[in-house]
């Protein structure tokens, strides 16, 4: 499985580190979805704005939610363990 992918440059991501924290280098060359719907070639979900049941519905963007595509707060644990800063997309009715 020869990946002709240039090794990610060591060091910080292009963004600045938050004051007082160390920017953990996110592996640009690594997958970000460990286990969600791996049998699908590409995981795409559709939200029908007209069928939203709650005033505000959070959708997962960290690929760790147990209720994917909906957010279940898993990004908090992910961010804490990795120094990342990902959060959900909120769709407001």
Residues ≥6 apart with Cβ < 8 Å to 54? 93
For residue 68, give the nearest of 30, 27, 33, 29 by alpha carbon.
33
Q: Which of 7, 10, 11, 15 binds its own copies (CB under 8 A)?
A: 15
Q: Which residues are catalytic?
A: 42
Q: Which of 7, 53, 54, 92 binds its own copies (CB under 8 A)?
A: 92
For residue 30, give the nearest of 61, 46, 7 by alpha carbon.
7
The least CB distance from residue 3 to its own copies, in Å, is 7
Torsion of CA 52, 55, 60, 61, to 10 degrees: 110
The least CB distance from residue 10 to its own copies, in Å, is 13
Q: Which of 11, 16, 53, 54 binds its own copies (CB under 8 A)?
A: 16
Q: For residues 47 and 67, which CB has a smaller minimum distance to its own copies in the complex? A: 47
- Angle among Cα 84, 26, 33 to the nearest 5 degrees reads 80
Which residues bind to its own copies, rule: CB under 8 A? 1, 3, 5, 13-18, 22-50, 52, 56, 59-63, 69, 75, 78-79, 81-93
């Amino acid at each position: 499985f020869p990946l002709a992918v240039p090794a990610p440059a060591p060091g910080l991501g292009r963004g600045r580190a938050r004051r007082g924290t160390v920017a953990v280098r996110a592996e640009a060359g690594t997958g970000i979805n460990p286990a969600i719907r791996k049998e699908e070639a590409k995981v795409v979900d559709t939200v029908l704005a007209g069928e939203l049941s709650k005033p505000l519905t959070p959708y997962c963007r960290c690929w760790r939610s147990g209720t994917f595509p909906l957010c279940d707060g898993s990004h908090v644990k992910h961010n804490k363990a990795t120094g990342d800063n990902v959060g959900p997309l909120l769709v407001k009715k």
